[in-house]
């Protein structure tokens, strides 16, 4: 069965009677006029549809908990929407903790993750009653126990382990241990457990957490990760008498950025996870644990598009034609950082007779600020609106103020209604934290 992460465009994308691109019942050209560009646009129907995919795909396992990996996109509005869909949240900073808290999220359904959490962040997590903290290393075990004791609380934790599996897009590696900054190597698990049982009385170990990569297309890796987690639960029970009842298998499912991408469906991944989990429960003779899944990109990416206005152009003699837009690497650093590829369309030129090959260049003072190389588009003119697809994940999250340019606004569209959920930064916002020392004022 197909799922939303396998689509290039939001589920509501279509050409309307005016000949313009439409998403969420909203004319893209009119959105650009109303809110200005560059502009992030999120389609609510697509978000809810992919949430439905996940819930249906995993309903065969009775003890499953859906968590959204907030690093993909964290705003109060998206947090509220996903909370209403029944999702918990995997968070990695005080900022993400505070955002979901202010959005009214049930904090018992929040997991705090990360490899170098600060004392202040751990204190905030405990004060706001975050449900789980995934502990990444020995230093954090000691620090968290001290913070928990100072708050007179016992904190539920998971141990994040490095399962010997790594999967990045098409590359799948399985080794005894991996060179990774995240988690305990499996050879270190016993030492961590002994510290928790014998010294760290303010920590309550509930289970194990493993994350295997991002933009994953290889499905078998999920089954292998499940087996490693269950085997380790059984081993710890046998050695320490621990009845751990939770496993977190991470997320990482890929999405379709271009026609060349073929990510697996949510349903295919769920079948592999559930079947392997049930097999391992019997094989290792343990009670069925609660299963936590934490997708991020595959929940939010397809729902998002970014709108730009076309500006100047340059034809290199006997070379490329560059067409510049009013945004670029500051609002979408992924092409510059990861050589990520995207597709785009002109929102106001759906009827055309021919295509031209152009390269879409950003407006920032970097030669590497190229959004899309060699894309076929209609003849572009100043003022045309470019719509770049699949920008819901890691665009806003990784955005910067490079060249002292303001960060973008974001709107949520649904049923022909648009609502601003992130305001565009102003010039005064840019300088709001600047200070001039008194000695420079004379």
Residues contacting 285, CB < 8 A, separation 6+: 234
**Residue 294: what are its φ and ψ, rounded to 5°?**
-130, 70
Whether pTM > 0.75 for this model: the answer is yes
CA gap 160, 330 in Å, rounded: 32
**Tens-binned pLDDT, residue by residue, of the chain (442 aa):** 899 999 999 999 999 999 999 999 999 999 999 999 999 999 999 999 999 999 999 999 999 999 999 999 999 999 999 999 999 999 999 999 999 999 999 999 999 999 999 999 999 999 999 999 999 999 999 999 999 999 999 999 999 998 876 665 545 444 444 656 777 888 899 999 999 999 999 999 999 999 888 898 988 899 999 999 999 999 999 999 999 999 999 999 999 999 999 999 999 999 999 999 999 999 999 999 999 999 999 999 999 999 999 999 999 998 899 999 999 999 999 999 989 999 999 999 766 768 999 999 999 999 999 999 999 999 999 999 999 999 999 999 999 999 999 999 999 999 999 999 999 999 999 999 999 999 998 7
Cβ atoms 322, 314 nearer than 8 A: yes
How many CA atoms, within 13 angstroms, populate the side-chain half-sphere of residue 36? Answer: 10
Residues contacting 135, CB < 8 A, separation 6+: 141, 144, 157, 158, 159, 160, 192, 203
365 is catalytic: yes
Q: Which is the catalytic residue, given 74, 167, 262, 365?
A: 365
Q: What is the 3-state secondary structure (H, E, C) of 272-327?
A: HHHHHHHHHHHHHCCCCCEEEECCCHHHHCCCEEEEEEEEEEEECCCCCEEEEECC
Cβ atoms 361, 369 nearer than 8 A: yes
Question: Which domains does the chain carry?
Answer: 4-42+303-431 (2.40.37.10), 44-300 (3.20.20.10)
Cβ atoms 271, 226 nearer than 8 A: no
CA gap 91, 54 in Å, rounded: 19
């Amino acid at each position: 069965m197909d799922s939303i992460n396998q689509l290039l465009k939001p589920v509501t994308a279509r050409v309307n009677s005016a000949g313009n691109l439409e998403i969420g019942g909203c004319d893209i050209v009119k959105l650009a006029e109303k809110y200005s560009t560059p502009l992030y646009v999120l389609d609510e129907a697509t978000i809810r549809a992919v949430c439905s995919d996940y819930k249906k795909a995993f309903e065969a396992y009775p003890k499953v908990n859906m968590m959204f990996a907030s690093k993909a996109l964290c705003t109060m509005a998206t947090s509220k929407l996903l909370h209403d869909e029944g999702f918990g949240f995997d968070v990695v900073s005080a900022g993400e903790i505070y955002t979901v808290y202010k959005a009214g999220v049930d904090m018992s359904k929040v997991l705090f993750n990360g490899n170098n959490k600060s004392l202040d962040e751990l204190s905030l997590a405990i004060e706001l009653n975050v449900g789980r903290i995934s502990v990444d290393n020995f230093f954090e075990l000691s620090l968290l126990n001290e913070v928990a004791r100072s708050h007179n609380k016992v904190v539920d934790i998971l141990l994040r382990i490095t399962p010997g599996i790594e999967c990045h897009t098409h590359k799948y590696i399985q080794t005894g241990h991996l060179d990774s900054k995240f988690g305990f190597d499996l050879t270190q698990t016993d030492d961590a457990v002994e510290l928790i049982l014998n010294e760290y009385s303010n920590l309550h170990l509930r289970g194990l957490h493993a994350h295997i990569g991002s933009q994953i297309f290889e499905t078998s890796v999920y089954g292998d990760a499940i087996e490693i987690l269950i085997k380790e639960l059984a081993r710890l029970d046998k050695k320490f008498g621990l009845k751990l009842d939770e496993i977190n298998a991470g997320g990482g499912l890929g999405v379709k950025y271009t026609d060349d991408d073929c990510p697996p469906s949510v349903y295919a991944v769920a079948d592999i996870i559930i079947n392997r989990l049930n097999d391992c429960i019997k094989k290792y003779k343990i009670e069925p644990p609660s299963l936590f899944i934490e997708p991020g990109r595959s929940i939010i990416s397809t729902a998002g598009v970014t709108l730009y206005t076309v500006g100047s152009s340059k034809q290199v003699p006997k070379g490329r034609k560059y067409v510049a837009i009013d945004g670029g690497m500051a609002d979408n650093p992924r092409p510059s950082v990861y050589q990520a590829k995207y597709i785009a369309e002109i929102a106001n030129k759906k009827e055309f007779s021919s295509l031209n090959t152009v390269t879409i260049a950003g407006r920032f003072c970097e030669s590497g600020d190229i959004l899309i190389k060699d894309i076929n588009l209609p003849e572009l003119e100043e003022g045309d609106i470019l719509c770049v697809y699949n920008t819901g994940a890691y665009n806003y999250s990784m955005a910067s103020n490079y060249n002292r340019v303001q960060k973008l606004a974001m709107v949520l569209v649904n049923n022909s209604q648009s609502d601003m959920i992130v305001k565009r930064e102003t010039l005064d916002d840019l300088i709001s934290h600047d200070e001039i020392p008194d000695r420079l004022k004379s």
